[in-house]
Chains A and B, each alone.
Chain A
Amino acid sequence: GMRFGVVVFPGTWSDRDCGWAVEHALGAEVRYLWHRDRDLGGVDCVILPGGFSYGDYLRPGAIARFSPVMEAVREFAERGGLVWGICNGFQVLCEAGLLPGALIPNACLEFRCQWLHLRCERGDLPFTRGLGGRVLRMPIAHQEGNYQADPETLARLEERGQVVFRYCDEHGRTGGESNPNGSAHDVAGIVNLRGNVLGMMPHPERCAEADLGGTDGLLLFRSVAEAALSLAGGGPG
C-alpha cells in the first residue's frame, strides 16, 4: 500500500495530525522520519508538517533546512519523489530553495487561525487530481504566511502555472477580505516546475473528517494516494 513519510523536527506539531489523517481518514500507512534520519525508508510521499521547527526563532524554516533529513528530502525530490510542505513545511521548502520566494509575517502582524476558502488552479498535479477550478474550504493557523517574491519570480510562477492555491471567497473570487495574510497574488500554495514539490499554508490534515468541520483536505490526501499508485504501477518504482 501507499506509504507517507511525516518528517518530525524538534518543535513540529502537525506530525501527529498528519499521521492521524493519513491512517484514519485516508487509510494509508505512516512512517515518521526523525530530523536526523538520512534514510526515508521507501516512502511514496514526504510530508513536511506544521510547527515551529527548532523553535523558528531566527526565521521559520531557517534552521530546519540544514537538517540531515532535508538532504535526503532534496535527493528524493530530485528523483521525482512527492514532497508536500504544509504550513511550516512550506516555509522550510522555501528556505531550502526547493520552492522560490519567502513567507514573511502576516500583514496584520497577528497569528491567524480560521477557516477560509482556496481556489485550486491546477487539476493535473499529483496533489490535486481533478480539483482544477474547485473552491476548497480549509483552516489556516500561522503568523508568517505572507508569501512574497520578487516581481520576476511572481511573473514566472504565474506564467508557468505554479500557483496552485489562491485565497478567495466562497464563490472563488479573489481580492478584498479573502486574503488573510497579505500574500502576493493571493498565493496560498505553489508547486515547483516539475510538479512534484508542493508548499501550502492551509492545513488539509485538519479538515479530512466531517467531525472536524470539513472534508476538503481529504481530497488532497486521496489525490496523492492515487497518484502514487499510478506512479508505482506505470514507472520503474
Chain B
Amino acid sequence: MSGLAVDERVLREVALSGEEYAEIVRRLGREPNRLELGMLGVLWSEHCSYKSTRSLLRRLPTSGPGVLQGPGENAGVVEIGQGWAVAFKVESHNHPSAVEPYQGAATGVGGILRDVLAMGARPVALLDSLRFGPLPESRRHLEGVVAGIGGYGNCVGVPTVGGEIYFDEGYAGNPLVNAMCVGLVRVDRVRRARAGRAGNRLVLAGAPTGRDGIHGAAFASLELDGASAERRPAVQVGNPFLEKCLIEACLELLDLPGVVGLQDLGAAGLTSAVAEVAARAGAGARIETARVPRREAGMTPYEVMLSESQERMLVVVEPGQEAGVLQIFARWDLEAAVIGEVTADGDLSVREEGVEVARLPVALLAGGAPARRLRPAPSEVAEPAAPPPPLAPGEVGETLLRLLASPNLGSRWPVFRRYDHMVGDATVLPPGGDAAVLRVLGTGLGLAVTIDGNARYCRLDPFVGAQIAVAEAARNLVATGARPLALTDCLNLGNPERPEVAWQLERVVEGIATACRELRLPVVSGNVSLHNESAQGAIDPTVVVGMVGLLEDHRRRLPAGFQRPGDLVLLVGSTADDLGGSEYLRVVRGLVQGPPPALNLARERAVQALVGEAAAEGLLRSAHDLAEGGLLVALAECCLLGGLGCRGRLPDRHDLGLAALLFGESQGRFLLSAPPRALGRLQNLAARHAVELVALGSVGGEALSLEGLVEVPLADARRAWEGALGG
C-alpha cells in the first residue's frame, strides 16, 4: 500500500484493493480524483465486473438454435416462432434483502423487470427463488420478502407465476432472493443497449435521482456482518407505480424512429449504465450532471453518478429525435431529460455546469477490472456416518405426513395466493405444479417457465448438484408438455477468496456446462452472487436455474395433478439406491450426508424425450416430475393437486430398502396419468427410448393407498401439506 496517495479507509469505502488501485494509477498515468475513484470502485466491484468469474463463465455454452441474444446484454433473447421472441433473466438481490427484506425483495423485482424491458420486451411473468434459515426464526424475513415481492409485482401488473422456497440452517444469516423475469418481444423489435454513433443523445427518464443506494454494488460484494444494519441506506426504495409507467412509456418509444437502445439503471446507477452502452459500441460519452433530474437539491456529481435510485432508464436516441421521446415520457408524467451524448473518443467525461469533473476511459471502467485469480482447493466432504436405520412398513404413512408437513415440501399456496398470478390474461397453467404455462396472446403458442435448484446436492457434490439443477428445471418444463429452449442461471456462493468456495464455483460451472451440452440447452443470461457469508460461514453453493420452454399449442399443456378417476398411474424412469442428500434423511433422520442422487444425462434425455413425445401425441392427462421427497411425496402431490386419490401397489424391489424406494430422490423420473387405452402406445414409446415404465395403479377414491404399505386419507394429507408453512 505504500506510495499511494490515498489511504486505506478511502479504498475500503469504494471496495478496491491496493493492487487494484495501483493498476488504476498505472493505466491512467495519474491518480484518480475522488469521483473517478468512486466510479471505478463500483464498476470494479465483483457485482459489476465479474472479476472472479469472468473467465470461468466462458465455459458455458451460450449459443443454439433460436438464440438471438446470449449473455452480455441486459437479458437473453430466444426466438419462439410466429415472429415472437422471449427475453428472460434471473438476478440476485441477496444482501439488500438480508438487511431490509421488504424493500430488498421489491427492488430486486423492479430491477429484473427493467432488464427485460431494456431488450424492448414487455414483461409478462415473474418468478422467484428464495432461501431462508429455518422457521420459525426466519418468519420475519420470509414475511418481509414475500410482502415485498407481492407489493411490487402486484402493483406493477406483471403476474408472479412461479417460484420456490427452501429453508436451511445455512441461510439463517444470509437469506437469498433471486428474481427472474420473462418478457415477450417481436423479433424485429428486439433492442440492445448500445450507444451507436457519436452524436447520439442520452436521455435519462423515470424517477428523479436521489441520494439512495450509493455504493449498493460495493455492498453486494462484501460479507454481511454486525455492521450491515448500518448499510441500510445502501438499500433502495422501490416505487412500482413509477415502474409501471416507465414500462408503458418505454414500450411506446419503440414505435418512434431513431430510438437506438435502452439500458436500465441498476447497480452503480448512471455510471454503469453509460459505461456499458458506450463500451458495447466501442464509443465514449459525455454527461452533464446538472441536467440530471433530481429529487433533492445540492447533490454532488459523485452522488449523481453513483446513486442507485430505482425506476430509471437510459434511452439512446439519434440526434433530432429527442422531442418525440421526451413527449412520450411527459404523457406518462415521467421526468426525462437529455443528459449527454455519445462521443467518439472512448472516454466517459462527466461535467458539472460545463466543467469536467471526471474523465475515464470507458474500457477501464467496463471490463477493465483485472481478473482475480481463484485458488481452488476441494473442500472436505464428510464421510457418511453409519447408515440410517431402516424404515419399517408400519412407519410409512406417518413418515409421509411428516414430510408433507415439513416446510421444504409443504404447499406453497399460502405464498402464491399473495401474488397476482393471473393479470395479463395469459396464465393458462397456474403456479403450484412443476411449471407455469403462459399463452402468447394471438398465437396459440405456450411458454412454460420454471425456476429451481437444490443446494444440498451442490453442497454434497457441486458438480453433480449443478447438473441436477439443469436437468430438474428441464424436467419441470417437460412435465407440462413443453420443449425446453434455454436457461438463465444464478450462482449464489460464499467468498471466492476461500479456496473451497473457489473450488465449488469451478465445479458448479463445470456441472452446468456439462448438463447444458448433453441436454442441448444454451445459457442465455445469468448472474453471479458471491460473498454470501455471515457469522455462520459461507452458504451452501446454491445454483438456481430459470428455464423457459415452448408448447406449439398451449392447449396441449399438462397439469401435475391427477385429472380423472380410472386413469392409469405410471412411473417412468429408474429408481436406484439414491437416499443421499434427501429430504427424508434430513427431516426424518436428521442427516445431511451421502452422495447426491446419481445423474445419467443420456438417460435423462431419453426419459424427457419419452414424456415430451407422449404429451405431444395427446396420450397423457397429467405429468409430474419426481423431486425432493421422492416417489411417495410426488404421488401425494398428484393426488392433492388434482383432488383425487389413487390405489395401487409398488413393484417388488428386493434390492432396495423401503426408504430408498419410497423417499429416495433418484433423478430422471416422472409420474404420469393416462387413460387405460393409452397404455400400449406408452409401452411402445418407453421401449423405443429404453426407459423403464411401470403401471402403479389407478386414479380414484379419497385416499392414497398402496397395497400392504400405506393408506392415507387425502384429507389428512391435505391438512399436513397445507399447514406446512404455518403462519
Contacts and interface: CB of A to CB of B under 8 A. Distances in A.
B422 A139 contact: yes
Contacts of A55: 155, 239-242
A206 B417 contact: no
B197 interface: no
> A interface, by DSSP: helix, strand, loop or mixed?
mixed
Name, among A50, A111, A143, A212, the residue most crowded by chain B CB atoms within 10 Å (CB to CB).
A111
A168 B424 CA distance: 26
Contact of A111 (B156, B240, B242, B418): B418
Interface string B224-247: 000000000000000111101100
Interface in B150-174: 150, 154-157
B381 interface: no
Given A10-B332, A206-B422, A206-B425, A111 B241 contact: no
A114 B419 CA distance: 9
B441 interface: yes
A146 interface: no
Interface in A38-73: 50-52, 54-57
A162 interface: no
A106 to B, nearest CB: 11
A51 B157 contact: yes
Contacts, number: 77
Interface string B347-378: 00000000000000000000000000000000
A57 B154 contact: no
Contacts of B212: none
B31 interface: no
Interface stretch (A11-19, A95-103, A148-156, A171-179): A11-19
B420 A113 contact: yes
Given A205-B425, A211-B428, A11 B418 contact: no
A213 B417 CA distance: 16
Contact of B244 (A13, A206, A213): A13
**Chain B CB within 10 Å, residue with most, of A16, A54, A56:** A16
A20 interface: yes
A185 interface: no
A117 to B, nearest CB: 16
A167 to B, nearest CB: 15
B238 to A, nearest CB: 11
Nearest to B427: A212
Given A57-B241, A111-B154, A212 B428 contact: yes
B378 to A, nearest CB: 46
B245 A11 contact: yes
B428 to A, nearest CB: 5
Interface in A180-228: 203, 205-206, 209, 211-213
A131 interface: no
Most buried by B among A10, A14, A113: A113
A124 interface: no
Q: Determine the interface band of chain B, counting residues with CB < 8 A from chain A.
A: 20 to 34
B194 interface: no
B244 A113 contact: no
B140 to A, nearest CB: 15
Interface residues of A, number: 30
Contacts of B669: none
A151 B192 CA distance: 59
Given A52-B241, A211-B439, A203 B422 contact: yes
A95 B18 CA distance: 61
Contacts of A211: 428, 439, 554-555
A10 B425 contact: no
Contacts of A143: 154
Contact of B154 (A114, A141, A209, A212): A141
Contact of B417 (A21, A51, A114, A212): A114
Interface string A9-36: 0110110110011000000000000000
A3 interface: no
Nearest to A139: B422
A110 interface: yes
Contacts of A203: 422
A114 B154 CA distance: 13
B344 interface: no
A55 B245 CA distance: 10
Contact of A141 (B245, B423, B554): B423
B163 to A, nearest CB: 14
Contacts of B427: 212
Given A13-B244, A212-B425, 12 more contacts: A10-B245, A16-B424, A16-B425, A111-B154, A113-B417, A113-B421, A113-B422, A114-B417, A141-B420, A206-B422, A206-B425, A211-B439
Interface of B: 150, 154-157, 239-242, 244-245, 332-333, 416-425, 427-428, 430, 439, 441, 554-555
27 contacts: A10-B244, A10-B333, A11-B244, A14-B423, A16-B424, A17-B423, A17-B425, A51-B157, A52-B155, A55-B155, A55-B240, A55-B242, A110-B418, A111-B150, A111-B419, A113-B154, A113-B421, A114-B417, A141-B423, A203-B422, A206-B422, A206-B423, A206-B425, A209-B425, A211-B428, A211-B554, A213-B428
Interface of A: 10-11, 13-14, 16-17, 20-21, 50-52, 54-57, 110-114, 139, 141, 143, 203, 205-206, 209, 211-213
